[in-house]
Amino acid sequence: MTLRSPEEWAELLCSNKESTQMAAMRELRQASPDQANPVVILKPFLQGRSAVAGLASLLDGMAIQMLTAAQTRDEASGAAELLRQFYPEGILQGHPDRGILLPLQELLAQQSYQHADALTTQILCRVAGEGAVDRAWLYFTEVRTIPKTVLAGIDQLWWLFSEGKFSYRVQRQIWLSGGKSWERLWAQIGWKKSGSFTRYPGGFTWDLTAPRGHLPLTNQLRGNKVLLELFSHPLWQD
């Protein structure tokens, strides 16, 4: 890896080209803390971001994940202060369902994708009703009762905290581009291998080396109706 000065990092991260910023973020994520201190390097970027109006981007998701990792390594690193200063409500600031989604956001910020996947199912069941909570899985008829704001928030969190690799929207795009073929979808996102469904949990990949669209999971052993309803939810009609 190329050793860069803080000034060089600032120039890359504050570039007008998002592709340059994303490449720099990925490089910084892969660097060891001894080579590149994310707390020092990200501060100028965050100061510039605070003046930018609009929704959070993939850059914010990567920044939060790196600062969360820095805080875990060393509580005195200053990462917690930057998170409080620039993301006081997390990445979904002002979201109406922030209370429900905050635990999911925390797991995804920690890149704890397996636990985040399990919590995603729990949240969907919780908002779908007592029946879904009791059985711990959804009937396809319950999917349309999920509030759009909740489903949108879940989807946004998965997308923001995966460099745009995971989320229902990504899965839906793959499904549509494959002519709505379930076999193509399952094969492409790694849910089916050599004609058999991937075994949970060991067969799945719980990090960013997974295929695009790999997460979050929807149980396919009971059929594809739940996933079809998720892909047909009123959220996508707006």
228 shares a domain with 128 = yes
In a domain, 198, yes or no: yes
227 shares a domain with 109 = yes
Number of domains in the chain: 2
Burial of 146 (0-12, 13-18, 19+ CB in 10 A): buried
The predicted-structure confidence for 175-213, as pLDDT tens digits, reads as follows 999 999 999 999 999 999 999 999 999 999 999 999 999
Measured CA to CA, the distance from residue 69 to residue 109 in angstroms comes to 8
Question: What domain range includes position 72?
Answer: 6-86
Prediction pTM value: 0.95
67 shares a domain with 178 = no
Measured CA to CA, the distance from residue 138 to residue 170 in angstroms comes to 21
The predicted-structure confidence for 90-144, as pLDDT tens digits, reads as follows 998 888 999 999 999 999 999 999 999 999 999 999 999 999 999 999 999 999 9
pLDDT value, residue 76:
82
